[in-house]
């Protein structure tokens, strides 16, 4: 079981337009509950709390989801609007015009990574944090969506960040009316949401087309769009370079109906106490940097509004002093598809994945000795303790002895 997280807001407004930004002064906000999960079916346009697929139709192939390495979550704000007409952003309290990175809303941020070529994607999982008021859901205590607050996710091939000139857009995904924040006792607090997006059959896409074959079968692949394969290994690591860009559109809402909203940040798994357990689909190619654009990145991309490539101050993770946490500048994205990277149940935590062996036991014992918090997650919630204890070892060995499901 993971600790309840402290949510740290980090906004890109007000930072210098140099190759790297100076460290921001983050503001911590305590969150008492874990993110709420909601499912969006692109084919029907409906949100539900239950998985509409029932048994999963695909599995993880690329996971940038290590969102609390220091036991403190953070959100990188994409929109930080002026909600009261004073020309100052809601959260960062920075001037909206002029601003070093353009307007307080309507811009975009872009992150990138490396993935295997010819990868088909049919489900996407994202995690957002929102202060956009959801007054219609006040009696339900959790947001079921705010009409007029739309999210656009643009995914491109041949992009290794820093305003890459080789970028080739593959798809733009609209998630309309994303969940917001429900007032509690008249007060708004940031709400975290995990949104599972099931792509419509016609919207399934392929990343890193290397052979000119449309493996998605939808026309959403490199050769189908551009007439040639779009596989690109720009950093010479044997994998395909791709990017994912975020923007929100709140223009249908009145200024007082809008709110700050952004994407939860993630970090590579480097042995920090809050890291998730290892997984064969763990993301490759994450960098402590993000590209900032002053206007929307359309598909095909409009590359004329690039502001610069920034970071939040340099990743720092000191579990003994959570207040010193500085966010890693990549954002939460899970890609799922029909050819997932499989594990042999929760006890399979070390290569070779797909089977259980002594390496898994050694890895677990090392995590236990270093008090990594994911060790607690294997035990029932009723046995939760502030730090891993011997009960967690017993639980793990029991799961390991049971073998593969």
Pairing between β-strand 119-121 and β-strand 36-41 as defined by DSSP bridges: unpaired
The mean pLDDT of 383-396, rounded to a whole number, is 72
| Same structural domain, 348 and 322 | no
Q: What are phi and psi of 129, to 5 degrees?
A: -130, 135
- Under a CB-based contact definition with an 8 Å cutoff, are residues 200 and 110 in contact? no
- Name the pLDDT band for 28 (thresholds 50, 70, 90): very low
Residue at a domain's end among 315, 341, 367? 341
Residue ending a domain, among 304, 326, 341, is 341
192 and 308, same domain (yes or no): yes
User: Residue 27: inside a domain, yes or no?
Assistant: yes
Structure tokens at 183: 């007032």
Q: How far apart are CA 268 and CA 71, in angstroms?
A: 14
From 341, 368, 386, the end of a domain falls on 341
Report the pLDDT value the prediction gives residue 242, as an integer from 0 to 100.
98
The chain-wide mean pLDDT, for the chain, equals: 82
The C-alpha atoms of residue 356 and residue 358 are separated, in whole angstroms, by 7
Give the residues across from 244 on adjacent strands. Answer: 111, 155
Smallest Cα–Cα separation from 221: which of 243, 203, 235? 203
pLDDT at position 127, please? 95
Same domain, 11 and 85: yes
Residues 168 and 284 in one domain: yes
Q: From residue 86, give the alpha-carbon distance in Å to each of 81, 83, 94, 312.
A: 11, 8, 11, 26
pLDDT at 19: 41
Say whether both 162 and 109 belong to one domain. yes
| Domain match, 155 and 249 both | yes
In a domain, 220, yes or no: yes
**DSSP for 83-129, written as a single string:** SSSSSB-TTT--BSSS-TTS-SSS-EEEEEEEE-SSEEE-EEEEEEE
Non-local CB neighbours of 238 within 8 Å, separated by 6+ positions? none
395/294 same-domain check: no
Tally of structural domains, the chain: 2
Distance, first Cα to last Cα, the chain: 22
Domain span including residue 189 = 6-341
Same domain, 237 and 357: no
Mean pLDDT is lowest, of 29-38, 351-360, 390-399, for 29-38
Full 3-state SS string of 198-262 = ECCHHHCEEECCCCCCCCCCCCCCHHHHHCCCCCCCCCCCCCEEEEEEEEEECCCCCHHHCCCEE
Q: Which residue, among 188, 360, 185, has the nearest Cα to 280 in the 3D structure?
A: 360
Q: Is the pLDDT of residue 33 over 60?
A: no
Within a domain: residue 325? yes
Residue 79 lies in a domain: yes
Residue 201 counted as domain residue: yes
For the cut 80, the answer to whether the pLDDT of residue 50 exceeds it is yes
Same domain flag for 38 and 71: yes
Q: Do residues 175 and 218 both lie within one domain? A: yes
What is the C-alpha to C-alpha distance for residues 173 and 199, in angstroms, rounded to an integer?
9
Say yes or no: 327 and 397 in one domain.
Answer: no
Residue 98 preceded by cis peptide, ω within 30: yes
- Cα 378 from Cα 356, distance rounded (Å): 16
Strands 290-293 and 191-198: unpaired
pLDDT value at residue 307? 83
* Position 30 pLDDT exceeds 80: no
Q: Is residue 1 part of a domain?
A: no
- Position 51 pLDDT exceeds 80: yes
119: which 2 tokens?
């990868």
54 and 198 share one domain? yes
As a whole-number percent, the residues of the chain with pLDDT over 90 amount to 41
* pLDDT greater at residue 22 or residue 81: 81
DSSP state of 47: E
């Amino acid at each position: 079981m993971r600790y309840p997280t402290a949510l740290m807001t980090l906004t890109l407004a007000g930072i210098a337009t140099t190759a790297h930004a100076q460290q921001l002064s983050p503001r911590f906000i305590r969150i008492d509950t874990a993110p709420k999960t909601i499912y969006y079916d692109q084919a029907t346009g409906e949100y539900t709390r239950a998985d509409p697929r029932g048994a999963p139709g695909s599995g993880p192939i690329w996971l940038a989801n290590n969102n609390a390495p220091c036991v403190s979550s953070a959100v990188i704000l994409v929109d930080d609007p002026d909600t009261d007409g004073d020309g100052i952003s809601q959260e960062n309290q920075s001037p909206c015009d002029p601003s070093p990175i353009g307007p307080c809303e309507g811009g975009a941020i872009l992150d990138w990574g490396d993935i295997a070529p010819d990868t088909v994607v049919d489900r996407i999982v994202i995690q957002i944090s929102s202060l956009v008021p959801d007054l219609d859901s006040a009696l339900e205590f959790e947001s079921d969506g705010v009409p007029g607050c739309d999210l656009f996710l643009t995914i491109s091939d041949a992009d290794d960040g820093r305003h890459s000139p080789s970028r080739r857009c593959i798809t733009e995904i609209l998630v309309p009316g994303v969940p917001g924040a429900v007032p509690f006792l008249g007060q708004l607090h940031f709400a975290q949401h995990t949104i599972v997006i099931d792509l419509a059959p016609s919207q399934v896409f392929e990343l890193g087309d290397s052979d000119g074959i449309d493996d998605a079968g939808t026309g959403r692949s490199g050769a189908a769009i551009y007439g040639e394969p779009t596989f690109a290994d720009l950093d010479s690591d044997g994998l395909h370079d791709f990017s994912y860009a975020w923007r929100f559109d709140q223009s249908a809402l009145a200024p007082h109906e809008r709110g700050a909203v952004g994407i939860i940040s993630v970090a590579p798994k480097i042995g920090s106490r809050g890291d998730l357990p290892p997984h064969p689909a763990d993301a490759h190619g994450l960098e402590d940097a993000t590209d900032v654009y002053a206007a929307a990145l359309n598909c095909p991309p409009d590359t004329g509004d690039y502001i610069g490539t920034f970071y939040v101050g340099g990743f720092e993770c000191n579990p003994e002093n959570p207040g010193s946490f500085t966010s890693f500048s990549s954002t939460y994205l899970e890609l799922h598809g029909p050819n997932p990277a499989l594990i042999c149940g929760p006890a399979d935590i070390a290569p070779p994945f797909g089977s259980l062996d002594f390496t898994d036991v050694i890895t677990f014992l090392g995590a236990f000795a270093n008090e990594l918090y994911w060790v607690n997650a294997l035990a029932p919630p009723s046995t939760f303790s502030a730090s891993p204890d011997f009960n967690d070892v017993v639980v793990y060995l029991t799961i390991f002895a049971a073998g593969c499901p």
